[in-house]
Amino acid sequence: MGNHELDLVQRPELTDAQWERLCSFGTPEEVAVGDYVFRSGDRDYDLILVDTGEVEVVRDSLWWIEEAVLVRMGPRSFVGELGLLNGQGAFLSARVTEAGRMLRVTRAELRKLMAEDDELCDIILHSLWARRESLRKGPAALTLKFVGTTSSRDFLSLRRFAERLDLVHAAVELPPGDLGSLTGHDITVDDLPVAFIQGEPILRATPGMVAERLGLSYQANGDEVVDLVVVGGGPAGLAAAIYGASEGLSTVLLDAVAPGGQAAATSRIENFLGFPFGVSGGDLIGQASLQALKFGVRVYAPCEAVKLEPVDDLLDVTLTDGRIIRTRTAIVTSGAAYRTLDLDRWSDFERAGIYYAATQLELRQVMDSPVVVVGGANSAGQASLYLAANGCPVRLVVRGSDLGTRMSSYLVDRLLEDPRVEVHTGSRVTGLDGGHSLERVSIDSVGTVDARGLFCFIGAEPATSWLDGLDRDADGFLRTGTDIAAQSLAQWQMLGREPLPFETSVPRIFAAGDVRRGSMKRVAAAVGEGSSAVASVHRALAG
């Protein structure tokens, strides 16, 4: 870590009473110089309490760099970071440099501590999070390294996955067709992107492959049955998972990509309660994800559900690899999939210039270059302002004639006043052009203009095609509660009750957020729906 990365937040000074309470959750052992209390690559490791002696935390040597000592931890300190809560395997090693007495706090005991001792919970959580943030900026980042071309959609997917999960990592961007430092290592351009985990390469890497190696994929725990599975990690799903876990339900959260949904792609949310100066979607989701870990939510991503069905008295959630999670209840918060424009070469440029989010990751690809934003709702307006504020000349293309039809008035006013944004109402994008990456966009009311990027915010289709047997409307949105069609209510007569609020046509399966018919399609509303659905879950579990 170094002096600039380690402060009292990361290594707090505990009182005698706090240290005594913390040690009560650990199992003592005597250690000798040279012993490892955990090693990089360990899937299951413990929080280490240093009672006497000293431990040094090291980044192991890799094939291109030597071992690096990051920090030494002496008496009355604890060794560990955020991976203890999210299930990630160890990516650093901890080695004893002075013999002494140490205590091991297992992950199960750590969760018990966090549930029972609010004071210690706050101290430890803050410290683990601060350490993770510092590690992201230091030499530890080389333990997970992505290498790919700047215009590659697959490379961008890896980076977005790592950013949303707050993984310690580094990324090396290569020009198209160039292998850079990989030359001579039996790796070709066709093998990109490459992920190096502890120096070992994964060719043509995907988020799923990386997650599996890091220990972030779902692992069955015998015949375990959980209380609640939440499918979808957007605002509704995170809220549902947090409220469920905080109220004592064993809770699993699944997301096909990474927590955040479309909200994580929003550069700035101005009207979310409690943030008078606005908040980025990434920051909001990051804090919510940390809160979920605090309450013991088991988060798995990328982890896609392909089937949800009642089996006996339980529900089975089937994953893409065939693994099944058994649960008493489920909340579907799978949101919606981005709509696209029906244009030639759209799929070509999805890998090189077309984006469905406007965050710092995408901004790096188009920095100071002209861009086109398509869409007439708040997300398009927020993206336009964000890109313009960071040096990009922006053309906002809106199909409707009135910018204020679907966009909040405060955004309309800012867009019309911003000289860096040119608004084209009553217009459509009609063509795309370029070589390896997007270079030009045709707009029917303007003609062909230079554009390094096209940011598409034209709505989404509900992600419900995987849900057989659940009542949906003509557009695919899930019906819930009193909105369920009469012909789908026959089975409820056997239960002797009507569907609960947010309950779908199948008992004990609920829906919240953008996937639900009649939802408001706003972040604050999704949070409210997710937390409210948990109240119905409790009623269903109570019988």
For residues 149 and 194, the answer to whether their CB atoms sit within 8 Å is no
* DSSP-derived secondary structure letter, 25: T
What is the token pair recorded at 285? 């989701």
Residue 8 has pLDDT above 70, yes or no: no
Distance of CA 490 to the CA centre of its chain: 39
Alpha helices in 281-424 (DSSP H): 281-294, 346-349, 360-366, 378-389, 409-417
Query: What is the pLDDT averaged over residues 321-341?
Result: 93
For residues 505 and 470, the answer to whether their CB atoms sit within 8 Å is yes
What is the token pair recorded at 237? 């799903």
For residue 2, name the pLDDT band (cuts at 50, 70, 90).
Answer: very low
Mean pLDDT of the chain: 92
Residue 210: Cβ within 10 Å count: 23
Q: How far apart are CA 326 and CA 188, in angstroms?
A: 43
pLDDT of the residue at 60: 94
Residue 4 has pLDDT above 70, yes or no: no
44 versus 396: which is more confidently predicted? 396
Q: To 10 degrees, what angle do helices 378-389 and 409-417 make?
A: 30
Burial class (CB in 10 A: 0-12, 13-18, 19+), 527: buried
pLDDT of the residue at 5: 46
Query: What is the pLDDT averaged over residues 393-404?
Result: 96
In the numeric block, the tokens 């008035």 are attached to 409
* DSSP-derived secondary structure letter, 369: S
For residues 62 and 41, the answer to whether their CB atoms sit within 8 Å is no
pLDDT of the residue at 201: 92
Q: Which backbone phi and psi does 47 adopt, to 5 degrees?
A: -75, 130
> What letter represents residue 446's amino acid?
V
Q: How far apart are CA 352 and CA 439, in angstroms?
A: 10
pLDDT of the residue at 147: 93
Peptide bond into 302 cis (omega under 30): yes
Query: What is the pLDDT averaged over residues 131-155?
Result: 89
DSSP helix/strand/coil, 510: strand
In the numeric block, the tokens 């413990």 are attached to 46
DSSP helix/strand/coil, 464: coil
Residues 6+ apart with CB under 8 A from 186: none
Residue 102 has pLDDT above 60, yes or no: yes
Q: How far apart are CA 247 and CA 242, in angstroms?
A: 8
What pLDDT, in 10s, does the model give residues 504-542?
A: 999 999 999 999 998 887 889 999 999 999 999 999 999
> What letter represents residue 161's amino acid?
F
pLDDT of the residue at 1: 44
DSSP helix/strand/coil, 31: strand
Residue 496 has pLDDT above 70, yes or no: yes
Instruction: Identify the helix (H) or strand (E) that includes residue 23.
Output: helix 16-23
Residue 336 has pLDDT above 60, yes or no: yes
Query: What is the pLDDT averaged over residues 149-176?
Result: 89
Query: What is the pLDDT averaged over residues 155-178?
Result: 89
Query: What is the pLDDT averaged over residues 456-480?
Result: 92
Which of 516, 525, 161 lies closest to 332 in space, CA to CA? 516
Which of 39, 45, 21, 29 lies closest to 107 in space, CA to CA? 45
pLDDT of the residue at 158: 94
129-138, 225-234, 341-350: range with highest mean pLDDT: 225-234
For residue 137, name the pLDDT band (cuts at 50, 70, 90).
Answer: confident
156-160, 176-180, 263-267, 383-387: range with highest mean pLDDT: 383-387
Strand partners for 59: 68
Alpha helices in 74-174 (DSSP H): 83-86, 107-116, 118-135, 153-164
What pLDDT, in 10s, does the model give residues 42-71?
A: 989 999 999 999 999 999 998 778 999 999
For residues 481 and 499, the answer to whether their CB atoms sit within 8 Å is yes
32-41, 139-148, 184-193: range with highest mean pLDDT: 32-41
For residues 477 and 334, the answer to whether their CB atoms sit within 8 Å is no
Strand partners for 394: 371, 421
457 versus 222: which is more confidently predicted? 457
pLDDT of the residue at 543: 81
Beta strand residue intervals within 286-402, DSSP E: 298-300, 305-311, 314-319, 324-332, 336-338, 354-355, 371-374, 394-397
Measured between its terminal Cα atoms, the distance across the chain in Å is 52
Which of 168, 195, 198 lies closest to 81 in space, CA to CA? 168
Q: How far apart are CA 281 and CA 333, in angstroms?
A: 17
> What letter represents residue 74's amino acid?
G
Residue 294: Cβ within 10 Å count: 21
Write down all domains in the chain, each with its CATH number in brackets.
3-135 (2.60.120.10), 139-214 (3.40.30.10), 225-336+485-495+504-542 (3.50.50.60), 346-456 (3.50.50.60)
Residue 337 has pLDDT above 90, yes or no: no
DSSP helix/strand/coil, 262: helix
Query: What is the pLDDT averaged over residues 270-290?
Result: 90
For residue 175, name the pLDDT band (cuts at 50, 70, 90).
Answer: confident
For residue 312, name the pLDDT band (cuts at 50, 70, 90).
Answer: very high
Percent of the chain with pLDDT over 70: 98
Percent of the chain with pLDDT over 90: 73
Peptide bond into 193 cis (omega under 30): yes
Query: What is the pLDDT averaged over residues 420-447?
Result: 95
350 versus 192: which is more confidently predicted? 192
Query: What is the pLDDT averaged over residues 107-116?
Result: 95
Query: What is the pLDDT averaged over residues 488-496?
Result: 80
Query: What is the pLDDT averaged over residues 427-436?
Result: 94
Which of 84, 74, 248, 62 lies closest to 143 in space, CA to CA? 62
What pLDDT, in 10s, does the model give residues 199-247?
A: 899 999 999 999 999 989 898 777 899 999 999 999 999 999 999 999 9
DSSP helix/strand/coil, 476: coil
Instruction: Identify the helix (H) or strand (E) that includes residue 524.
Output: helix 523-542
